[in-house]
Homo-oligomer: A and B are copies of this chain.
Amino acid sequence: MHFADKLMARIKETGSRVVIGVDPDPRRLLGSDSEFRAAFPGKPDGYLLDAFCSTVIQVAKTYACAIKPQAAFFENMGMLGWKSLSLCIQNARKHGIPVILDAKRGDIGHTASAYAKAYLNPESELFADALTVNPYLGPDTLEPFMNMAKQNGCGLFVLVKTSNPGSHALQDLKVLDEHGRPSITVAEKVAQWVSKLGKSHIGKSGFSNIGAVVGATYPEHLEKMRQLMPQSIFLVPGYGAQGGRPDDVKAAFHPDGTGAVVSSSRGIIFAYENQPGLSQDGIFEAMARAAGKARDDINAVALS
Protein backbone atom coordinates (compact mmCIF):
# COMPACT_ATOMS: atom_id res chain seq x y z
CA MET A 1 0.00 0.00 0.00
CA HIS A 2 1.16 3.53 -0.80
CA PHE A 3 2.52 5.30 2.29
CA ALA A 4 0.41 8.45 1.85
CA ASP A 5 -2.76 6.36 1.44
CA LYS A 6 -1.88 4.38 4.57
CA LEU A 7 -1.35 7.57 6.58
CA MET A 8 -4.52 9.24 5.22
CA ALA A 9 -6.57 6.12 6.04
CA ARG A 10 -5.15 6.11 9.54
CA ILE A 11 -6.05 9.80 10.03
CA LYS A 12 -9.61 8.98 8.96
CA GLU A 13 -9.75 5.97 11.27
CA THR A 14 -8.43 7.76 14.38
CA GLY A 15 -9.65 11.26 13.64
CA SER A 16 -6.18 12.40 14.66
CA ARG A 17 -3.53 14.41 12.84
CA VAL A 18 -1.13 14.01 15.75
CA VAL A 19 2.15 12.13 15.46
CA ILE A 20 3.50 11.25 18.88
CA GLY A 21 7.25 11.70 19.02
CA VAL A 22 8.94 8.94 21.00
CA ASP A 23 11.95 10.66 22.58
CA PRO A 24 12.97 8.49 25.55
CA ASP A 25 15.45 10.98 26.96
CA PRO A 26 17.38 8.83 29.46
CA ARG A 27 17.82 11.73 31.91
CA ARG A 28 14.06 12.13 32.28
CA LEU A 29 13.07 8.50 31.89
CA LEU A 30 15.83 6.56 33.63
CA GLY A 31 17.11 9.03 36.25
CA SER A 32 16.79 8.13 39.92
CA ASP A 33 14.08 10.79 40.31
CA SER A 34 12.09 9.61 37.31
CA GLU A 35 8.39 9.31 38.05
CA PHE A 36 8.18 6.65 35.36
CA ARG A 37 10.81 4.59 37.16
CA ALA A 38 8.88 5.02 40.41
CA ALA A 39 5.83 3.36 38.84
CA PHE A 40 7.87 0.26 37.91
CA PRO A 41 9.79 -0.45 41.12
CA GLY A 42 12.95 -2.53 40.83
CA LYS A 43 12.83 -2.86 37.06
CA PRO A 44 16.06 -2.48 35.04
CA ASP A 45 16.63 0.23 32.42
CA GLY A 46 15.87 -2.00 29.42
CA TYR A 47 12.53 -2.94 30.91
CA LEU A 48 11.66 0.70 31.61
CA LEU A 49 12.58 1.73 28.10
CA ASP A 50 10.39 -0.99 26.56
CA ALA A 51 7.54 -0.22 28.97
CA PHE A 52 7.74 3.47 28.08
CA CYS A 53 7.52 2.72 24.35
CA SER A 54 4.63 0.29 24.98
CA THR A 55 2.73 2.91 26.94
CA VAL A 56 3.20 5.47 24.16
CA ILE A 57 2.01 2.89 21.63
CA GLN A 58 -1.10 2.18 23.71
CA VAL A 59 -1.83 5.91 23.70
CA ALA A 60 -1.10 6.18 19.98
CA LYS A 61 -3.56 3.38 19.17
CA THR A 62 -6.42 5.73 19.96
CA TYR A 63 -5.03 9.23 19.78
CA ALA A 64 -2.39 9.38 17.04
CA CYS A 65 -2.11 8.79 13.32
CA ALA A 66 1.51 7.69 13.69
CA ILE A 67 4.45 7.56 16.05
CA LYS A 68 7.83 9.13 15.39
CA PRO A 69 10.65 7.46 17.31
CA GLN A 70 13.64 9.78 17.54
CA ALA A 71 16.64 7.60 16.68
CA ALA A 72 19.10 9.74 18.67
CA PHE A 73 17.49 8.95 22.01
CA PHE A 74 17.77 5.24 21.31
CA GLU A 75 21.25 5.43 19.78
CA ASN A 76 22.60 7.13 22.89
CA MET A 77 21.75 4.02 24.88
CA GLY A 78 23.85 1.71 22.70
CA MET A 79 22.76 -1.90 22.16
CA LEU A 80 20.03 -1.53 24.78
CA GLY A 81 18.60 1.36 22.80
CA TRP A 82 18.80 -0.36 19.43
CA LYS A 83 17.01 -3.44 20.75
CA SER A 84 14.32 -1.26 22.26
CA LEU A 85 13.91 0.78 19.07
CA SER A 86 13.51 -2.41 17.07
CA LEU A 87 10.87 -3.68 19.50
CA CYS A 88 9.11 -0.30 19.51
CA ILE A 89 8.89 -0.16 15.72
CA GLN A 90 7.69 -3.75 15.41
CA ASN A 91 5.17 -3.36 18.23
CA ALA A 92 3.65 -0.20 16.75
CA ARG A 93 3.41 -1.71 13.27
CA LYS A 94 1.77 -4.84 14.72
CA HIS A 95 -0.94 -2.56 16.09
CA GLY A 96 -1.37 -0.91 12.70
CA ILE A 97 0.28 2.35 13.77
CA PRO A 98 2.51 3.81 11.05
CA VAL A 99 6.06 4.46 12.23
CA ILE A 100 8.00 7.49 11.01
CA LEU A 101 11.59 6.94 12.07
CA ASP A 102 13.16 10.31 12.75
CA ALA A 103 16.78 9.56 11.96
CA LYS A 104 17.58 12.44 9.56
CA ARG A 105 19.91 10.25 7.54
CA GLY A 106 21.67 11.41 4.42
CA ASP A 107 24.68 10.19 2.46
CA ILE A 108 25.85 9.57 -1.09
CA GLY A 109 25.21 6.70 -3.54
CA HIS A 110 25.98 3.28 -2.11
CA THR A 111 25.92 4.64 1.42
CA ALA A 112 22.44 6.14 1.05
CA SER A 113 21.35 2.73 -0.26
CA ALA A 114 22.77 1.12 2.85
CA TYR A 115 20.76 3.50 5.08
CA ALA A 116 17.64 2.82 3.01
CA LYS A 117 18.24 -0.90 3.43
CA ALA A 118 18.56 -0.42 7.19
CA TYR A 119 15.19 1.28 7.66
CA LEU A 120 13.00 0.91 4.55
CA ASN A 121 13.47 -2.77 3.84
CA PRO A 122 10.98 -5.34 5.15
CA GLU A 123 13.81 -7.73 6.01
CA SER A 124 15.33 -5.27 8.48
CA GLU A 125 14.73 -5.53 12.22
CA LEU A 126 14.22 -1.76 12.07
CA PHE A 127 11.80 -1.63 9.14
CA ALA A 128 9.76 1.56 9.48
CA ASP A 129 6.94 3.04 7.38
CA ALA A 130 8.82 6.26 6.73
CA LEU A 131 12.16 7.91 7.37
CA THR A 132 13.27 11.52 7.76
CA VAL A 133 16.16 12.43 5.43
CA ASN A 134 18.54 15.38 5.09
CA PRO A 135 18.87 17.14 1.70
CA TYR A 136 22.26 18.89 2.14
CA LEU A 137 24.12 16.42 -0.08
CA GLY A 138 21.82 17.01 -3.08
CA PRO A 139 18.82 15.44 -4.82
CA ASP A 140 20.88 12.56 -6.26
CA THR A 141 21.43 11.37 -2.70
CA LEU A 142 17.66 11.16 -2.11
CA GLU A 143 17.17 8.73 -5.00
CA PRO A 144 18.37 5.55 -3.28
CA PHE A 145 15.95 6.33 -0.44
CA MET A 146 13.16 7.03 -2.95
CA ASN A 147 13.71 3.80 -4.83
CA MET A 148 13.57 1.63 -1.76
CA ALA A 149 10.65 3.57 -0.28
CA LYS A 150 8.59 3.18 -3.45
CA GLN A 151 9.39 -0.51 -3.68
CA ASN A 152 8.25 -1.23 -0.12
CA GLY A 153 5.28 1.10 0.34
CA CYS A 154 7.29 3.48 2.49
CA GLY A 155 7.51 7.24 2.75
CA LEU A 156 10.20 9.87 3.17
CA PHE A 157 10.08 13.19 4.93
CA VAL A 158 12.77 15.50 3.59
CA LEU A 159 14.00 18.21 5.97
CA VAL A 160 12.97 21.46 4.33
CA LYS A 161 12.51 24.07 7.06
CA THR A 162 13.33 22.95 10.58
CA SER A 163 11.90 24.28 13.83
CA ASN A 164 15.12 25.38 15.61
CA PRO A 165 16.07 29.03 16.22
CA GLY A 166 19.14 28.84 13.93
CA SER A 167 17.40 27.21 10.98
CA HIS A 168 17.40 30.59 9.20
CA ALA A 169 21.20 30.64 8.95
CA LEU A 170 21.28 28.21 6.04
CA GLN A 171 17.68 27.42 5.12
CA ASP A 172 16.55 31.06 4.73
CA LEU A 173 19.53 32.21 2.68
CA LYS A 174 18.33 33.78 -0.57
CA VAL A 175 19.77 32.13 -3.65
CA LEU A 176 19.61 32.70 -7.38
CA ASP A 177 16.91 30.83 -9.29
CA GLU A 178 17.56 28.91 -12.53
CA HIS A 179 17.33 32.15 -14.51
CA GLY A 180 19.99 33.79 -12.38
CA ARG A 181 17.50 36.03 -10.61
CA PRO A 182 17.59 36.61 -6.87
CA SER A 183 14.48 34.93 -5.68
CA ILE A 184 14.00 31.96 -3.45
CA THR A 185 15.57 30.60 -0.30
CA VAL A 186 17.56 27.41 0.14
CA ALA A 187 14.53 25.83 1.85
CA GLU A 188 12.30 26.84 -1.06
CA LYS A 189 14.78 25.32 -3.46
CA VAL A 190 14.64 22.06 -1.51
CA ALA A 191 10.83 22.35 -1.55
CA GLN A 192 10.97 22.50 -5.35
CA TRP A 193 12.99 19.28 -5.45
CA VAL A 194 10.60 17.59 -3.05
CA SER A 195 7.64 18.60 -5.19
CA LYS A 196 9.29 17.43 -8.39
CA LEU A 197 10.66 14.17 -7.01
CA GLY A 198 7.36 13.49 -5.27
CA LYS A 199 5.40 13.49 -8.53
CA SER A 200 6.97 10.14 -9.41
CA HIS A 201 4.82 8.31 -6.88
CA ILE A 202 1.41 9.75 -6.05
CA GLY A 203 -1.10 7.60 -4.18
CA LYS A 204 -4.88 7.30 -4.57
CA SER A 205 -5.24 9.99 -1.90
CA GLY A 206 -3.56 12.47 -4.25
CA PHE A 207 -0.50 12.73 -2.02
CA SER A 208 3.05 11.67 -2.73
CA ASN A 209 5.10 9.28 -0.63
CA ILE A 210 7.72 12.05 -0.42
CA GLY A 211 6.74 14.49 2.29
CA ALA A 212 8.49 17.41 3.92
CA VAL A 213 9.47 18.47 7.41
CA VAL A 214 8.34 22.07 7.93
CA GLY A 215 8.48 23.49 11.45
CA ALA A 216 5.49 24.96 13.28
CA THR A 217 7.72 27.63 14.78
CA TYR A 218 7.82 29.52 11.45
CA PRO A 219 4.14 29.90 10.49
CA GLU A 220 5.06 32.62 7.98
CA HIS A 221 6.90 29.98 5.95
CA LEU A 222 4.20 27.33 6.07
CA GLU A 223 1.88 29.01 3.57
CA LYS A 224 4.60 29.42 0.95
CA MET A 225 5.73 25.85 1.53
CA ARG A 226 2.15 24.60 1.14
CA GLN A 227 2.01 26.29 -2.29
CA LEU A 228 5.38 24.90 -3.36
CA MET A 229 4.61 21.31 -2.36
CA PRO A 230 0.84 20.82 -2.80
CA GLN A 231 1.04 17.04 -3.02
CA SER A 232 3.50 16.45 -0.19
CA ILE A 233 2.39 15.55 3.29
CA PHE A 234 3.97 17.89 5.82
CA LEU A 235 5.41 16.55 9.03
CA VAL A 236 5.22 19.59 11.30
CA PRO A 237 7.48 19.53 14.37
CA GLY A 238 7.86 22.27 16.93
CA TYR A 239 4.29 22.16 18.23
CA GLY A 240 3.95 22.22 22.02
CA ALA A 241 7.19 22.12 23.99
CA GLN A 242 9.11 23.93 21.21
CA GLY A 243 6.72 26.89 21.26
CA GLY A 244 4.45 26.33 18.24
CA ARG A 245 0.77 26.96 19.02
CA PRO A 246 -2.27 25.35 17.35
CA ASP A 247 -2.94 28.45 15.20
CA ASP A 248 0.63 28.34 13.95
CA VAL A 249 0.05 25.05 12.14
CA LYS A 250 -3.10 26.15 10.29
CA ALA A 251 -1.23 27.02 7.08
CA ALA A 252 0.27 23.53 6.88
CA PHE A 253 -3.15 22.14 5.96
CA HIS A 254 -5.12 22.36 2.75
CA PRO A 255 -8.55 24.00 3.16
CA ASP A 256 -10.12 20.52 3.50
CA GLY A 257 -7.90 19.72 6.51
CA THR A 258 -5.65 17.26 4.68
CA GLY A 259 -1.96 17.40 3.86
CA ALA A 260 -0.22 17.61 7.20
CA VAL A 261 0.48 15.76 10.41
CA VAL A 262 1.71 17.53 13.51
CA SER A 263 4.30 16.01 15.74
CA SER A 264 4.36 16.47 19.49
CA SER A 265 6.84 14.73 21.73
CA ARG A 266 7.66 16.02 25.19
CA GLY A 267 4.25 17.65 25.69
CA ILE A 268 2.64 14.21 25.46
CA ILE A 269 5.17 11.57 26.48
CA PHE A 270 6.28 13.38 29.64
CA ALA A 271 2.79 14.66 30.54
CA TYR A 272 2.89 12.47 33.67
CA GLU A 273 5.76 14.46 35.18
CA ASN A 274 5.27 16.66 38.25
CA GLN A 275 2.50 14.40 39.52
CA PRO A 276 4.50 12.18 41.89
CA GLY A 277 3.07 8.83 42.86
CA LEU A 278 1.23 8.11 39.63
CA SER A 279 0.56 4.42 38.93
CA GLN A 280 1.23 2.81 35.56
CA ASP A 281 -2.41 3.44 34.65
CA GLY A 282 -2.08 7.02 35.85
CA ILE A 283 0.93 7.55 33.57
CA PHE A 284 -1.00 6.14 30.62
CA GLU A 285 -3.93 8.42 31.39
CA ALA A 286 -1.76 11.53 31.67
CA MET A 287 -0.21 10.83 28.27
CA ALA A 288 -3.60 9.98 26.78
CA ARG A 289 -5.15 13.22 28.08
CA ALA A 290 -2.33 15.29 26.59
CA ALA A 291 -2.57 13.42 23.28
CA GLY A 292 -6.35 13.82 23.19
CA LYS A 293 -6.01 17.55 23.82
CA ALA A 294 -3.36 17.90 21.09
CA ARG A 295 -5.63 15.97 18.69
CA ASP A 296 -8.60 18.23 19.44
CA ASP A 297 -6.61 21.47 19.33
CA ILE A 298 -5.07 20.57 15.98
CA ASN A 299 -8.33 19.35 14.49
CA ALA A 300 -9.95 22.62 15.56
CA VAL A 301 -7.51 24.63 13.45
CA ALA A 302 -7.13 22.12 10.60
CA LEU A 303 -10.89 21.92 10.09
CA SER A 304 -11.73 25.56 10.78
CA distance A175 to B174 in the complex (A): 6
A108 at the interface (CB under 8 A from B): yes
| Shortest CB distance A145–B (Å) | 11
CB–CB B111/A70 < 8 A = yes
CB–CB B108/A163 < 8 A = yes
Q: Count the copies.
A: 2
Interface string of A43-78 (1 = CB under 8 A from B): 000000000000000000000000000101101101
A117 at the interface (CB under 8 A from B): yes
Given A72-B111, A111-B70, A189-B170 contact (CB < 8 Å): yes
- Residues on B with C-beta less than 8 A from A140 are 164-166, 169
CB–CB B138/A136 < 8 A = no
| Shortest CB distance A216–B (Å) | 13
Contact of A79 among B112, B117, B125, B180 (CB under 8 A): B125
| Shortest CB distance A1–B (Å) | 24
A255 at the interface (CB under 8 A from B): no
A114 at the interface (CB under 8 A from B): yes
Stretch at the interface among A99-107, A218-226, A287-295: A99-107
CB–CB B164/A115 < 8 A = no
- Residues on B with C-beta less than 8 A from A70 are 107, 111, 114
A206 at the interface (CB under 8 A from B): no
CA distance A32 to B294 in the complex (A): 52
Q: Which residue of B lies closest to A73 (CB)?
A: B114
Q: How large is the interface on A (under 10, 10 to 19, 20 to 34, 35 or more residues)?
A: 35 or more
- Most-contacted residue by chain B among A83, A108, A119, A176 (CB, 10 A): A108
A41 at the interface (CB under 8 A from B): no
CB–CB A164/B137 < 8 A = yes
A263 at the interface (CB under 8 A from B): no
CB–CB A86/B78 < 8 A = yes
CB within 8 Å of B: which A12-62 residues: 23, 25
CA distance A288 to B78 in the complex (A): 32
A11 at the interface (CB under 8 A from B): no
A91 at the interface (CB under 8 A from B): no
A195 at the interface (CB under 8 A from B): no
- Residues on B with C-beta less than 8 A from A106 are 104, 134
CB–CB B141/A164 < 8 A = yes
CA distance A79 to B168 in the complex (A): 37
- Given contacts A138-B162, A140-B164, A170-B189, could you give 17 more A-B pairs where the C-beta distance is less than 8 Å? A72-B105, A72-B112, A75-B119, A75-B126, A76-B124, A78-B124, A104-B105, A134-B134, A136-B159, A138-B167, A139-B166, A140-B166, A169-B193, A174-B175, A175-B175, A176-B176, A180-B182
